[in-house]
Amino acid sequence: MHTTASPTERDLDTTRHPTTGGTASPEVAEQAARRRTFAVISHPDAGKSTLTEALALHAHAIGEAGAVHGKGNRRGVVSDWMEMERDRGISITSAVLQFAYAETVVNLLDTPGHADFSEDTYRVLAAVDAAVMLVDAAKGIEPQTHKLFEVCRARGVPVITVVNKWDRPGLDALAIMDELTTRLDLHPMPLTWPVGVAGDFRGVLDCATGDFVEFTRTPGGATEAIATRWSADEARRTVGDAFTQAEEEYDLLNASGHGFDLELFLSGAATPVLFGSAVLNFGVRQLLDTLVALAPAPSARADVSGGAREVSAPFSGFVFKIQAGMDKAHRDRLAFVRVCSGRFTRGMVVTHADTGRPFATKYAQSVFGRERATLDEAFPGDVIGLVNANALRVGDTLFAEEKVAFPRIPLFAPEHFAVARAAVSGKQKQFRRGIEQLGEEGVVQVLHSDRRGAQAPVLAAVGPMQFDVAKHRMEHEFGSPIRLEPLPYSVARAVTPDALPQLENRGGAEALTRADGVHLAVFADKWRMSSVERDLPAGALSPIFG
């Protein structure tokens, strides 16, 4: 059993307004200041899900860590709950875990661990205030790490870097600092420094105090590692050269301007750096303490008008994820809403910004991986799960009292395309419902055309593994197995309606319409696109986000 931080644990008690969300109060600002909402990002196999579980363990939200390796009697990772995730050992969908730590409410969003699911990761990064970037000690900055960091930079999300797997042979610590500088143009500011080379992890130098924190592993790494703090003099006597070398390396960095600067971190120009081993639970508590002390609390969020919604304003939030299949018994679906301002109370009636219609919130839940519990109230930074919110789509805004709309979350440009057909002719109803829902969740983009008809939609994806997820879910959740027929396209552009007729019957090109009404032109390659574009009206084609 886990212990989830309940938003009802409040320092102050004020009058509730269940139908409107109430007016702004000092309590909202106080509760927002207690929140830390962050995502964990990394290249596949850097240990992201293991770190997520280790953080929950150290906050006493769970009693024993899971394992991605499935060794001994260790169970599966809490945040990786889908059958395909457990089978393949990677994160396929984002997950939310909320727990309490040091008088703080932590909202941890685990992100997919494969480049094919970059779009889901981007949606999560729209909902957080900070990110933990996990770097494999043996591999340094990898392509997906680089790409995700650039998304953080574009969104103004400050990043804390954790060099993971220091218990295994790897790169020199100074070399990793150099990679952060040269490859990411990110100024590293170590908060801990490893004692012992990669593969001989003794503990860390606490850069703020000069102390040595020694780690002792526990059987299988299933429980918290034992941490013992020694003074520098004690460490020099007991550890010897390894500690002295760590001191010398850090002194060199500190003298060259790598000491901690809060403003540089919050601006996104610099990153605090910590060293650890998630699988052994080494350095995890140091990361939790750093998040509580340094990561920004929720703040005013920009709206579509160019203004900003203050956290103390009446309730507002936006949908960043739709997920079905979490509860096999009920086959419901959950809309994940990031609270941006005000206090949310279960049962309050809010307004759907796109339609102007009232929206009831009777079935609100808090989420911990796959597990859910009734949620009575929430504050800025928290994530609400709204059950069977069929009217909601990714990017939708909900608000109370004062109207607001937040910028929508852009879709990526797909690079893989396939025609989907029902494998069983008598399952057309299930087929249509399943395809529509997968599109609404963002599992794939769903495209249609008069030429192909409703029974042969085109599925579009950033990466081919999205098709595997779609096939698996269509068969196991919707009871309608599908056949996918790959199409020879790799480039997509938005196209104006007046250019659509000129794309008819053009070899290596096709016009399709996305579920949100956007017209797309798809091409076999960039050369074919350039050839066709010459015959289209000026400005007919434009890039899609991503």
DSSP for 455-479, please give it.
TSPEEEESSTHHHHHHHHHHHHTSS
Q: pLDDT band at 333, cuts 50/70/90?
A: confident
Question: CB-based contacts of 329: which residues, under 8 Å, 6+ apart?
Answer: none
Q: Higher confidence at residue 160 or residue 217?
A: 160
Q: What are phi and psi of 471, to 5 degrees?
A: -65, -45
d(CA 314, CA 165): 44
Strand partners of residue 514: 447
Average pLDDT of the chain, as a whole number: 86
Please report, rounded to a whole number, the percentage of residues in the chain having pLDDT higher than 70.
86
352 is in an annotated binding site: no
**Which pLDDT belongs to residue 52?**
87
Name, in order, each residue with C-beta under 8 angstroms of 178's C-beta and a sequence gap of 6 or more. none
* Mean pLDDT (whole number) for 142-152: 86
User: 126, 155 in Cβ contact below 8 A?
Assistant: yes
Q: Is 136 known as a binding-site position?
A: no
Residue 424: phi and psi, rounded to 5, are -120, 120
DSSP state for residue 120 in the 8-state scheme: H
SS3 278: helix
Q: What is the mean pLDDT of residues 187-191?
A: 98
Cβ neighbours for 340, distance < 8 A, ≥ 6 positions apart = 298, 301, 309, 311, 316, 317, 318, 380, 406
Looking at residue 14, its pLDDT comes to: 32
The pLDDT > 90 percentage for the chain reads 63
d(CA 452, CA 449): 5
In sequence order, the 6+-apart residues with CB closer than 8 A to the CB of 181 are 187, 188
- Each residue of 351-394: pLDDT tens digit? 999 999 999 999 898 887 667 888 999 999 999 999 878 889 88
User: Is the pLDDT assigned to residue 69 strictly greater than 60?
Assistant: no
The reply to whether 111 sits in an annotated binding site is: yes
What DSSP state is assigned to residue 18?
Answer: T
Cβ neighbours around 47 below 10 Å, total: 23
Mean per-residue pLDDT, 178-199: 96
330 is annotated as contributing to ligand binding: no
Contact call for residues 440 and 395 (beta carbons, < 8 A): no
Determine if residue 19 is labeled as part of a ligand binding site.
no
**Integer Cα distance of 465 and 457 in angstroms:** 18
Asked whether the beta carbons of 295 and 160 are under 8 A apart, the reply is yes
Structure tokens at 148: 């995700």
Tokens encoding 291: 């998040």
Q: Write down the pTM of the prediction.
A: 0.82
pLDDT band at 159 (very low <50, low <70, confident <90, very high): very high
C-alpha pair distances (Å), 349 with each of 321, 361, 398: 21, 6, 10
Q: pLDDT band at 343, cuts 50/70/90?
A: very high
> Measured between alpha carbons, how far is 501 from 489 in angstroms, rounded to an integer?
19
Name the nearest CA neighbour of 441 among 529, 299, 323, 272. Answer: 323
Tens of pLDDT, residue by residue over 85-110, are 445 444 445 578 889 999 999 999 88
Could you give all domains of the chain from N- to C-terminal order, each with its CATH number? 26-294 (3.40.50.300), 301-399 (3.40.50.300), 416-542 (3.30.70.3280)
- Average pLDDT, integer, range 194-200: 95
Residue pair 116/466 in contact by the 8 Å Cβ criterion: yes
Rounded average pLDDT over 185-208: 96
| Mean predicted confidence (pLDDT) in 75-84 | 45
Helix, strand or coil, per DSSP, at residue 381: coil
3-state secondary structure of 309: strand
Phi/psi at 241 (5° precision): -60, -35
Helix ranges (H only) for 162-283 are 173-184, 232-238, 241-255, 262-267
The first and second tokens of residue 513, run together, are: 């319409």
